[in-house]
Amino acid sequence: METEMNLQPQPHVLLFPFPVQGHIKPMLTLAQLLCHSGIHVTFVNTEHNHLLLTQREALSARFPTLHFHSISDGLPSDHPRSLNPYFIDIVTSLRSKTGPLLHQLLVSLTSKTDVDSAADQLPPLSCVITDGLMCFAIDAADKVGIQVIAVRTSSACSVWCYLCVPKLIEEGQAPFGDEESDKMVLGVPGMEYILRRRDLPSICRAPTNHTVRQFFVEEHIAITRASGLILNTFDELESSVLSHIASKFPKIYAIGPLHALLQSRVGDDDLSSSSAAAASLRREDRRCMMWLDSQEAGSVIFVSYGSLVKLTRVQLLEFWHGLVNSGSPFLWVIRSDVLHSTEVEHANRVTPVELEMGTKERGFIVDWAPQEEVLAHEAVGGFLTHSGWNSTLQAIWAGVPMLCWPQLADQQVNSRWVGEVWKIGVDMKDTCDRATVETMIKALMHGEEREVISRAVDQYAKSARTSVGEAGSSYHNLETLISDLRTLVI
């Protein structure tokens, strides 16, 4: 079969992620899956992130059909490129300046004019797989006559909510004030009596005509022009929601958890962790793994807010007090940029003695951790998370109960599903005080509900493992995607 594959002309696909860690990582995993099947992939990062992705050569050596290319994001070199508070700066520049550059690149790759020395070895481009927040790529691809498949790196349940936001706005259910937060949402088919308004994507809290909300609405209207949609989820987890989304797209490919599917397809026990490290834009502090080795099984609460969430110093201290007072050992990721810019000058204030002492006794703090490995470690018994989708899927795969503190975008929806639908954790949405943090950590780690939650997350972990096996839904859906890509060979 491999000989036949080598004799046939192979597809050449361009992958174009939104320029942040949480989007680049799953799309780079997808790139490796496609390359493992013999497909040529040109992975296009912004120049800024291209330089941060330091293990490009190692990945290309492992997957010879993986080719990296960079493109300007149109921003000055000294721009901080932080989504908070520069989101609109970034997406405006991407649309106006990166869009035309992408079109030029597509022209070069489809016509086989020289883009770089490696381009001579590539077949003509046959498809663009773009991040669903970069839908200007659909226009660029239309101009050169090639198909586009979109990727949303968030959950299916949040994607469906985003697709329904225009209807919610029309019906007056968004935006909403604090006094309306607990009203049930009736305008998202299939989610009746599940969603409260506070559980909607965070853009639904933004005032009328807010530019960020307008951007997300525009992108989720534009995304339906794609010829298909790839989602990092699996049928058994979100089947009912996937059936609703299927009404908007010609084809849906649910192929998650991507990190687990890659390991299953390639069959290398070390691949998952090495690929995760290779896709990271931050340096991991692996000392935490030695610390975990010294802890009792199931005793540690792992805390991480992902790569984007910002905290005030007051919030940081409330979490700190709650963690120390809970009595559980804790591994805490505190990024160097976790504080809001207005709070940085207060960061060096004296830390209360009880927090210093409690951390020395039971805690370990790092700037960034190898999260997939941490969650898989037997010492970890709970995960205090921002409910980003990558983190949520990794916790499900590892069978780790979650305590959810969502802040941005899809995180509000994810946390509701974790607590109310899948019942694999508890939702601490819109709350951040030391007493609540302490109480919820104790409940998650030692409370009466822990056994019920643990059984539920174990069941979903088993379903996830089945989905990426040879007879599984995600494995089959990836085969379908690969087959469809082969039909597009120019």
> Which active-site residues does the annotation give?
23, 131
Do residues 313 and 343 make contact, with C-beta atoms less than 8 angstroms apart?
yes
CA dist 293 to 228, 296, 372, Å?
A: 44, 8, 15
C-alpha–C-alpha distance, residues 383 and 387, integer Å: 10
C-alpha–C-alpha distance, residues 244 and 162, integer Å: 12
CA dist 384 to 130, 286, 330, 380, Å?
A: 31, 19, 10, 11
**Strand blocks (E) in 104-263:** 127-131, 147-152, 228-231, 252-254
Do residues 68 and 55 make contact, with C-beta atoms less than 8 angstroms apart?
no
Which amino acid belongs to residue 207?
P
C-alpha–C-alpha distance, residues 168 and 253, integer Å: 26
Tally of CA atoms within 13 A in the half-sphere of 314 that contains its CB: 4
Give me the phi and psi of 152, to 5 degrees please: -115, 125
C-alpha–C-alpha distance, residues 65 and 258, integer Å: 19
Q: What is the 3-state secondary structure (H, E, C) of 447-479?
A: CCCHHHHHHHHHHHHHHHHHHHCCCCHHHHHHH
Closest among 326, 356, 355, 311 to 435, alpha carbons compared: 326
The dihedral built from the CA positions of residue 87, 91, 94 and 96, taken in this order, carries a sign that is: negative
Cα 54 from chain centroid? Answer: 20
Give me the phi and psi of 233, to 5 degrees please: -150, 180
Tally of CA atoms within 13 A in the half-sphere of 480 that contains its CB: 14
Helical (H) or strand (E) element with 326 = helix 313-326
Helix 83-93 vs helix 211-222: crossing angle, to nearest 10: 50
Tokens of 484: 């469809």
